Amino acid sequence: MTVYAIIGGTGLTQLDGLTIKSALNLDSPYGQPSAPVLRGEYAGREVLFLARHGHPHRIPPHQVNYRANLWALKEAGAQAIIAVNAVGGIHPAMGTGHFCVPHQVIDYTSGRAHTFYEGELEHVTHVDFSHPYDATLRDKLCGALAAEGCAFSGHGVYGCTQGPRLETVAEIARMERDGCDIVGMTGMPETVLARELSLPYACLSLVVNPAAGKSTALITMAEIERALDEGMGQVKAVLARVLAG
């Protein structure tokens, strides 16, 4: 039976209903992970959980140690990863409260440690990243979203920005021209690091606000927190369905 790891983002620093059996404090070759890897039981099966931003939420997206996090999950026995991300909506269909299971990603970040293949290498390694998200895992997420009656899109392009600031109207306009449907700050390099470790990886994105210029109102943290509070119950129900399947 596949051992799933869940990476919780903003709004999901802990997984209610997870019966914790152990907390693994793993010291990776790349430094400390954001938080201990929690090993436990959820929806009747073994699962690993890691809070991407720490618990409590304290690590900004550009300072997350993505390599340590992915290495720790692999070391703990993860065989597949479901990442939960809070995002802004760019495409008109991506309104607040909508879910997206992206099929592509565009990386706008800079300066992040984005590969395990560096340093004193015996040979250069290139990984195929044509299709960054695992199709089978994406299908399971879409099936669970449909079963829960959630409004969702089964495909989309995730544009990953550096943060921690939100984007300008001009930046979002550029991203829309590039084909992005949603915008977040944590999708990369997490996605490619999973690929380098041969871990099937898919992203469950919850839209928590319209991206800059997609609404006449200013983006406020109160608005984002309200959307997170309303959407996390559905996130947990979807995760439980995938794990129970």
Does the annotation place 53 within a ligand binding site?
yes
Taking alpha carbons only, the member of 203, 158, 161, 164 closest to residue 63 is 164
Say if residue 185 carries a ligand binding annotation: yes
Respond yes or no on whether the N-terminal peptide bond of residue 56 is cis (omega within 30° of 0).
yes
Q: Is 216 annotated as a binding residue?
A: no
3-state DSSP assignment of residue 75: helix
91 is in an annotated binding site: no
State yes or no: 165 annotated in a binding site.
no
Is 45 annotated to bind a ligand? Reply is no
Q: Containing H/E element for 24?
A: strand 19-24
10 known ligand binder? yes
Q: How far is CA 84 from the centre of its chain?
A: 4
User: Cα–chain-centroid distance for residue 232?
Assistant: 14
Q: Are 75 and 28 in contact (CB under 8 A)?
A: yes
186 is in an annotated binding site: yes
Annotated binding site for substrate: 185, 209-211
Query: Which parts are annotated binding residues for phosphate?
Result: 10, 52-53, 186
Residues making up the binding site: 10, 52-53, 185-186, 209-211
